[in-house]
A = this chain, B = another copy of it.
């Protein structure tokens, strides 16, 4: 091959899109430490700490708490492929892209998916779920997205879980964007299976998906009549590696350096305090909202259920979505997110996640947007 390849030097962006968020220098530093073997006693000991810190971040005592060695969409698949057996009826609440993805996954697992739909930009309605639960008394699982990254909507996870449990259903929750950014209490709210992503409010590099399963979920997995269709994501096998220290068995080679980074990002959350992190996200959201108002922009989502870490901003009439985003990227090294699906071209998605969520970034973003919009 005659082509020449030179060292890649990415520019330093400010990442205010839907994730990845800005990764702190401490996490990047942890990432680049010398690689250990995936069965090295020192790495195994780090795995125990990662598990403890994930339990802290999820507010759970669940033993089966660990990072899947792949992105959030694999975490989604891990939860569904393990819990859903062919023929299982699963109620999926959809009010954005990721509820739809859950629905697709249920079908691919051989489950019977019942969709509870609400408009994009609105919350999942409790009475709709209640009707679906009454109409489908044989439903085994209720699945929904806590923080819908495609629309900026927070669903009422606590109320949805309570309703599902009243009807004897297990609950399966997408917390990709909520973990460490908004109030989330796995044990107290009765969540049976949950997955997240490393690259949102944890501000780790993308590529890992923290998950957690309750005892009831493990019970369901143990009672399966058919094997989990995925070998890579079969929790029974994965736990041979992520289970108790001394008996760790090889399943796959863990992404060692990414786990260093995850540990460091969780350590920083623990150092700040989880509730403090939630509050910080809320405070900076309010500042962003005020700043947007000052330049004539509004959020596309009602404040009552607006995500603090992912703000859907209505693109004003006559403004070219792509021109603005390109100008922000090229002239300000600032990334904001495009709209997805139904919201494409209609909203920008401004992320204030994890390390990104600070007042300087709010001001920088507002000033950059102001400058670009004033150019016409």
Contact B11 A42 (CB under 8 A): yes
Contacts of A305 in B (CB 8 A): none
Contacts of A199 in B (CB 8 A): 35, 253
A253 to B207, CA, bound (A): 7
A371 interface residue per 8 A CB criterion: no
Counting chain B CB atoms within 10 Å of each CB, the highest count among A33, A41, A81, A228 belongs to A33
Q: Which of A255-269 contact B (CB under 8 A)?
A: 255-258, 260, 263-264, 266-267
Contact B108 A8 (CB under 8 A): no
A9 to B267, CA, bound (A): 14
Contact partner of A77 among B9, B36, B232, CB < 8 A?
A: B232
Contact B31 A257 (CB under 8 A): yes
- Secondary structure of the A contact surface, majority rule: loop
Contacts of A46 in B (CB 8 A): 8, 10
A114 interface residue per 8 A CB criterion: no
A52 interface residue per 8 A CB criterion: yes
A302 interface residue per 8 A CB criterion: no
Known contacts A33-B10, A69-B70; A253 and B52 CB within 8 A of each other: no
**Closest B-chain residue to A267, C-beta based?**
B5
A329 interface residue per 8 A CB criterion: yes
**Closest B-chain residue to A258, C-beta based?**
B207
A42 to B15, CA, bound (A): 14
Contact A253 B197 (CB under 8 A): yes
A88 to B305, CA, bound (A): 49
Contact A8 B260 (CB under 8 A): yes
Q: How far is the CB of A371 from chain B (nearest CB, A)?
A: 21
Contact B20 A37 (CB under 8 A): yes
Contact A8 B33 (CB under 8 A): yes
Contact A35 B56 (CB under 8 A): no
Contact B73 A232 (CB under 8 A): yes
Q: How far is the CB of A3 from chain B (nearest CB, A)?
A: 7
**Closest B-chain residue to A21, C-beta based?**
B35
Contact B7 A267 (CB under 8 A): yes
A35 to B310, CA, bound (A): 19
Contact B101 A231 (CB under 8 A): yes
A174 interface residue per 8 A CB criterion: no
A34 interface residue per 8 A CB criterion: yes
Contacts of A256 in B (CB 8 A): 20, 205-206
Contact A29 B32 (CB under 8 A): yes
* B-contact 0/1 string along A334-372, CB 8 Å cutoff: 010000100000000000000000000000000000000
Known contacts A28-B32, A253-B19; A70 and B70 CB within 8 A of each other: yes
* B-contact 0/1 string along A199-236, CB 8 Å cutoff: 10000011100000000000000000001111110000
A163 interface residue per 8 A CB criterion: no
Contact B31 A32 (CB under 8 A): yes
A-B contact pairs, 21 of them (CB 8 A): A1-B56, A5-B263, A7-B267, A8-B30, A10-B42, A11-B36, A20-B38, A28-B35, A29-B32, A32-B32, A35-B205, A37-B335, A69-B70, A70-B232, A105-B231, A107-B227, A108-B228, A108-B230, A205-B258, A207-B255, A255-B255
Interface residues in chain A, defined as those with a beta carbon under 8 Å from any beta carbon in chain B: 1, 3, 5, 7-13, 15, 17, 19-20, 22-23, 26, 28-38, 40-43, 46, 49, 52-53, 56, 69-74, 76-77, 81, 101, 104-105, 107-109, 197, 199, 205-207, 227-232, 250-258, 260, 263-264, 266-267, 270-271, 329, 335, 340
